[in-house]
Structure 1
């Protein structure tokens, strides 16, 4: 028996076991490499063989991260402040005008013969229910702000879920590619031993080195994906300097059963965007009522008391003035027309939004359906076939029916198949989160107001 027959079979068996176990340990907490998230340029990654896994610790669950994000994401604090502003506006617009008090002096400079010194006051009386309607309009603005807060909270939750599963799956990709690097490196060592024993060629050496380099590329890509996913996660929870740590979750759970019509009906029934549009319709209707009563004239009262009157008689006197504008020329015709047009615009905006939601759901549901089909095919057919193929390649090699490099190629195909499965699984979790999140995401995007 040559050196190859002595060394290769146990090596390949360990490689297969390591790779296959990595794909079946989804229920265990994932331990993430600890690095500091800073604004400095990242240092170059050390060689894979020098990376020491961190000590396992109790991991953060999805619920933990959602709780942190709801309390720390600045977009929620901003939306909450806008709700408070709307509450203040609702109080303010319903308050009546303040009375006016002042001094009134007449016939000044008459040498004390006809001077009058008095106290003057005035008050505007608002008629037509204008203050009540002002408050009704502001109440709908408050309802809109509250729904915008709910929408922002949902965006945060969706973003957290997406980043959470990206990080979990990226760590699994690191595990898979690390095993691939280790086994291809060991395979290259085997080829070196064969070269020394003059049982391999220069072509075998080059091929084994290519396998190692390809595995290193896959590992580096997996680490880059993990770093990006963690940075995204730490940003959406509102703590960009959060140290990387273990996450507890099951990215390999069975897919959710989602039908397009049911998902669309749920979005239409529960989406805060729909509630915002309906609040806008209510606001425009209240604003139209307010515009109609604008022509109802307010009454202005003025009173004057002269306790000192140096004129004829010298006794205190006073005066009263009542005035009211006559709505002949200006009956707020333009304001009423504008308010009625805004009602039509708001109603059309609701219809537009309903169609927009369907339009947004369509490509998301397509990606969900494709990813779900791929995940199910990988689980039921492709992964078992890849495992069997690698096992047969090992047996054929042991029987002398194939070369060692062919076995390495089969091993790489096995690993790449698992990586493609993880890519499909990541896409599935992202689209599930988007659909369950009512198509609301992008919590850190800057919006109006």
Structure 2
């Protein structure tokens, strides 16, 4: 009787939950994502790149600066020399000077074409920012789900560790008193050590996920993170493959980026073709004492003759870039369609498995554990039978946790493929 009382007390004590560590910080998924959007350093760097692209448009709008030059200035008088009116006071009667002002006039709309090219570059930077956000958000959400699953596993194994730890202490005392065999005590103690090792691995994995999440949200505080949300699946998603494919083409930043790259290639071709037409350089000159006129003012113009270099190579490169960009866009579209089909297939399979494992079956597992615990307390089953059932129970529970984790991660993968939340 004393043996049963000790065992019963220790078993009941295992159903008390652990007190939360004061050094931990509980955060909901929504809070983590808000912190991520406002504080992530990679996103901040992406915003700076967008501002740089806007500055490039400003630079492209600017006209070329005029060039002013002074030449043919003599610092002494060469004999013979004509005498001219002085420039400053009595100085300048024998000084000669030539000044010229030059301005390049771009032809074929080169400036407007460069502005349009920079606008497309800005769009590319904005789409690259969206793509970076999509990738980072996907990685963050996966890490959150993994941490949620590890939290559930930790609770599960912690309860069993407490159970077998208390049982080990009780069986040790009973073994010393000769009420149980050494084999029974060793079997219980071995299970306790096994659960302890599992807990150590789970907690190490938790630390890895927590550090990753803290990096994403730019959190350098010491406390550990606890995800407040549960791992439960509120509802199953009904596939809408055709609509999702349309949504993916409209929302995927990488696909739109590939389309923008085609436009960039076409605009680059327009710029290169415009470069085939030479610019005109206008000049206004003044010459003092260097011509038949004492003060000569004249205008002029110059232009390159496109005889040898008509920008043929760059034009050909730009045309080939258009073909390459179109091929990349087609390949990207095919890849998205295949990714979506694969994600929907995985989602459907996991949903079928969870429907079989979850619900009533999960409740039956928990009730069976309670029954086995009471039967073990009453010595209706042996240590080996109890240990075997607990092992089977943990395998089933962990399998269900893994399937829930995979299902939630597949939903995130599906949202990642589509490019928006569903």
* TM-score band, normalised by shorter chain: 0.7 to 0.9
Measured at CA, do residues 4 and 121 of structure 1 come closer, stay the same or move farther in structure 2, by a change above 3 Å? same
**Unmatched 5+ residue regions in structure 1?**
23-50, 441-449
Task: Write the distance in 2 (CA, Å) between the matches of 1:197 and 1:310.
Answer: 126
Aligned to 1:100: 67
Aligned to 2:85: none
Which residue, out of 300, 314, 336, partners 1:321? 300
- 1:269-308 matches, cutoff 5 A: 269-306=250-287, 308=288
RMSD (CA atoms): 3.0
- Larger Cα-atom Rg: 2
Q: Secondary structure in 2 aligned to 1:437? A: helix
**Unmatched 5+ residue regions in structure 2?**
83-93
- 1:21-420 matches, cutoff 5 A: 53-55=20-22, 59-105=26-72, 109=78, 111-113=80-82, 116-257=96-237, 259=239, 261=241, 262-306=243-287, 308-309=288-289, 315-361=294-340, 364-365=343-344, 367-380=346-359, 382-394=361-373, 396-397=375-376, 401-420=380-399
Q: After the TM superposition, list the runs of 4 or more consecutive aligned residues in structure 1 that deviate by more than 6 angstroms.
A: none
Shift of 1:210: 1.5
Aligned length: 405
Retained in 2: the 8 A contact 1:9–1:394?
A: no
Task: Write the distance in 1 (CA, Å) between the matches of 2:294 and 2:376.
Answer: 127
Q: Secondary structure in 2 aligned to 1:259? A: coil
Task: Write the distance in 2 (CA, Å) between the matches of 1:158 and 1:311.
Answer: 76
Shift of 1:286: 1.0
Which residue, out of 391, 400, 405, partners 1:426? 405
Shift of 1:405: 3.9
Task: Write the distance in 1 (CA, Å) between the matches of 2:295 and 2:131.
Answer: 65
TM (norm. structure 1) is 0.80
Task: Write the distance in 1 (CA, Å) between the matches of 2:123 and 2:65.
Answer: 28
Larger mean CA deviation between 394-403 and 264-273 belongs to 394-403
Task: Write the distance in 1 (CA, Å) between the matches of 2:366 and 2:328.
Answer: 54
Measured at CA, do residues 115 and 14 of structure 1 come closer, stay the same or move farther in structure 2, by a change above 3 Å? closer
Deviations 1:165-205 (A, max 9, x none): 22233222222211111111122233234424533222111
